[in-house]
Amino acid sequence: MTIDRAHLAQVDLNLLVALNALLTERSVTRAAARVGRTQSAMSHNLARLRDLFGDELLTRGPDGMRLTPRALALIEPLRGALSQIEAMLARDEPFNPATSERVFRIGMPDSIEVLHGPALLARLSAAAPHLRLRLYSIDSLQILEDLDADRLDLAIGVGGTFAAGQLHHKRRLLITETYLCMFNAALVGVEPPISLQDYVRLPHVLTSLRKGERGVVDDALETLGLARVVALTTSRFLAVPFLVRGAPVVTTMHSRLARFFAGALGLSLSQPPLPLPEAPISLLWHASYDRDPAHVWLRGLLADLIVHAAPAAGAAPG
């Protein structure tokens, strides 16, 4: 359907806001709550939108409301248009962190939250006391969809967390991490540096945000014709040091986090006895927020905290 200029003059901008909510929530009730309208008002807006686009947009299915092909095709151009309108209206109103009451939803693994959350909260308390954060765990299989559906404003990924994105996904590499082995020397009967023989012999704890019992260590061992035994796999970085402290096992994790936990819990560190690839830590966001002043400010703050963070104190690896 082609909308001529005369027709365009009759379009209520609020309809596009309602359409964005409907396409994001795929529910009249949730869309109404999202923009602060009644359900009946949102139903009326949906009827007007169906008439405007000559398409049902949302249809009922066995698992709830579904988007029509026309609706799916509208998601990206609609979000881009609304973002440009917001930027145009805000051009003369620069972002002021001291007075902003905006809420940001950020996806990150608990390892990032532990290492950088306190500094982030302290910085926000001083520079943006009314700005609020909502932190969510990373789901590597859904992160791009969460950004596309505007369920997250920003994500911080470690290693291979992020799948390949599209042009509307923006990425900024912050740092690359190396690895350290961590273990309770008294329980495993090994002092740093750990040998390759002991490394393969001892059971391992694997931290993975993906399903399966395989990580970068397994790929590296395979090139040497070796394999390890993974006794336990978890997606929770915070649980690992306590598992290591209480059992005769070894784990391999990013160096900053390993130093932090080793220093806090009295655990031993060692360089891995085989070469491992570095792991990138990146920011990821949707292109519709690329020029958003508040978003730009927060991205800069996060990048500064992570890039310039002081190395965590801890026992020096052997």
CATH label of the domain that carries residue 270:
3.40.190.10
Cβ-contact 23, 151 below 8 angstroms: no
One domain for residues 163 and 201: no
Does 213 map to a domain? yes
CA–CA distance from 313 to each of 87, 116, 232, 260, 316 (Å)? 43, 14, 27, 6, 9
CATH, residue 21: 1.10.10.10
Does 216 map to a domain? yes
pTM for the model: 0.71
What's residue 35's pLDDT?
A: 86
One domain for residues 188 and 261: yes
Instruction: State how far the Cα of 278 lies from the Cα of 157, in Å rounded to an integer.
Output: 14
Tokens of 110: 């608990």
Does 317 map to a domain? no
CA–CA distance from 268 to each of 186, 242, 248, 276 (Å)? 9, 13, 12, 19
Scan for tokens 């694997």, then name that residue: 206
Does 85 map to a domain? yes
Cβ-contact 244, 251 below 8 angstroms: yes
The structural domain count of the chain equals: 3
Which candidate, 75, 98, 197, places its Cα nearest to that of 144?
75
Kindly report the backbone phi and psi dihedral angles of residue 174, in degrees, each rounded to the nearest multiple of 5, phi listed first. -100, -60
One domain for residues 108 and 58: no
One domain for residues 114 and 147: yes
Among 90, 119, 152, the domain-final residue is 90
Scan for tokens 């026992």, then name that residue: 315
What's residue 3's pLDDT?
A: 47
Strand partners, 181: 252, 270
One domain for residues 194 and 264: yes
One domain for residues 32 and 85: yes
Q: How many CB atoms lie within 10 A of CB 284?
A: 20
Alpha carbons within 13 A on the beta-carbon side of 32: 13
One domain for residues 284 and 257: no
Cβ-contact 172, 304 below 8 angstroms: no
One domain for residues 170 and 286: yes
Helix, strand or coil, per DSSP, at residue 175: strand
One domain for residues 184 and 272: yes
Among 90, 112, 134, the domain-final residue is 90
Helix, strand or coil, per DSSP, at residue 125: helix
Does 56 map to a domain? yes
Instruction: State how far the Cα of 261 lies from the Cα of 79, in Å rounded to an integer.
Output: 42
Domain residues for the domain of 69 are 5-90
pLDDT values of the chain reduced to their tens digit, one per residue, 318 residues: 444 544 555 667 788 889 988 988 889 999 999 888 899 999 999 998 898 888 999 998 877 789 999 988 888 788 777 766 766 665 556 789 999 888 899 999 888 999 999 999 999 999 999 999 999 988 777 888 888 888 899 999 876 556 555 667 889 999 999 999 999 999 999 999 999 999 999 999 998 876 667 889 999 999 999 999 999 999 888 899 999 999 999 999 999 999 999 999 999 999 999 999 999 999 999 888 888 889 999 999 999 999 988 555 444 555
Beta strand residue intervals within 11-168, DSSP E:
58-61, 64-67, 103-107, 132-136, 154-158
Does 312 map to a domain? no
One domain for residues 285 and 166: yes
Does 192 map to a domain? yes
Looking at residue 97, its amino acid is: P
Kindly report the backbone phi and psi dihedral angles of residue 48, in degrees, each rounded to the nearest multiple of 5, phi listed first. -65, -40
Helix, strand or coil, per DSSP, at residue 210: coil
One domain for residues 22 and 149: no
Kindly report the backbone phi and psi dihedral angles of residue 201, in degrees, each rounded to the nearest multiple of 5, phi listed first. -70, -40
Which candidate, 42, 50, 54, 40, places its Cα nearest to that of 17?
42
Label residue 182 exposed, middle or buried (CB < 10 Å: 0-12, 13-18, 19+): buried
Does 249 map to a domain? yes
One domain for residues 115 and 165: yes
Among 68, 90, 112, the domain-final residue is 90
